[in-house]
Chains A and B, each alone.
Chain A
Amino acid sequence: GENVEQHPSTLSVQEGDSAVIKCTYSDSASNYFPWYKQELGKGPQLIIDIRSNVGEKKDQRIAVTLNKTAKHFSLHITETQPEDSAVYFCAASRGDSGYSTLTFGKGTMLLVSP
C-alpha cells in the first residue's frame, strides 16, 4: 500500500517568514496530492491540492510543488501569519484510477510567532 512520509514534525517560524513542509510517497500510481490544515479542536480542512499532471499550483500565499520522478511534493507558505499556526497534513491517493482512499503523512505542527 501507499506510504507517505512527512517532514518536519514541528516547524517554528517568525511572522513574515516562509515555511516549507515536505512529503514523499511510495506508490507511483498515486496521482492526487491534497494538503489539509487542522486547527485545534477541529477536523482537517483542505487548503490546496495538486494532480500529477501539474508541477506547481499556487493560491495566494500558499503553493504546492510536485516532483513525480522523485515522488515528493511540498507545501510552501509565504508571509506567514499567526493564524497559519496549525497542524498540516499531506496526503496521497490514486484519485480516479481505482482504490482511492487518502493516505496521510503524520503531520507537521507549524508555529508562527508574532
Chain B
Amino acid sequence: DSGVTQTPKHLITATGQRVTLRCSPRSGDLSVYWYQQSLDQGLQFLIQYYNGEERAKGNILERFSAQQFPDLHSELNLSSLELGDSALYFCASSVRAVVSGNTEAFFGQGTRLTVV
C-alpha cells in the first residue's frame, strides 16, 4: 500500500458527461501529480499541484481541470467526456515539489474511467 488513496476505483459514464476523480496523498506529502495511462500512450503527465498551487502543467486538455484543497487532497475534473478519454488515471504524491533521488513519487492504484 503506497499510502495514496484514489476514489472511485472504477467509473463508467456516458459521452458528454462530467466526472470528478479524487486523490488523497500520503500523510505529509505536499505535492500531487495526475497522470493518464492509456494502452498506446503509456503514462502521460497531466498536472502537478504543490501545497495548493498549480506547479506544472503537461498534456492536459482544456476540458480537464484540477485543484488541490487546503487539506491537500486533490480532485481532477473531466468534462464533456469523449470515448477517447477512457483510460486509467493515476495520482501520485511526494513530499517536495521535485522528484529526485531524495524525493520519491508514490502512486495510487488508479481510477479506471470508461466512457460509453
A→B interface (CB under 8 Å): 6, 31-32, 34, 36, 41-46, 49, 51, 89, 93, 95-96, 98-107
Contact = CB atoms under 8 A, between A and B. Distances in A.
A36 B105 CA distance: 10
A49 to B, nearest CB: 6
Interface of B: 2, 4, 33, 35, 40-45, 48, 56, 58, 90, 92, 97-102, 104-110
Output the residue of A32, A44, A95, A107 with the most chain B CB within 10 A. Answer: A44
Contacts of B35: 104
Contact of A99 (B40, B56, B109): B56
B99 A44 contact: no
B110 A43 contact: yes
A44 B109 contact: no
B29 to A, nearest CB: 14
Contact of B42 (A34, A46, A93, A104): A104
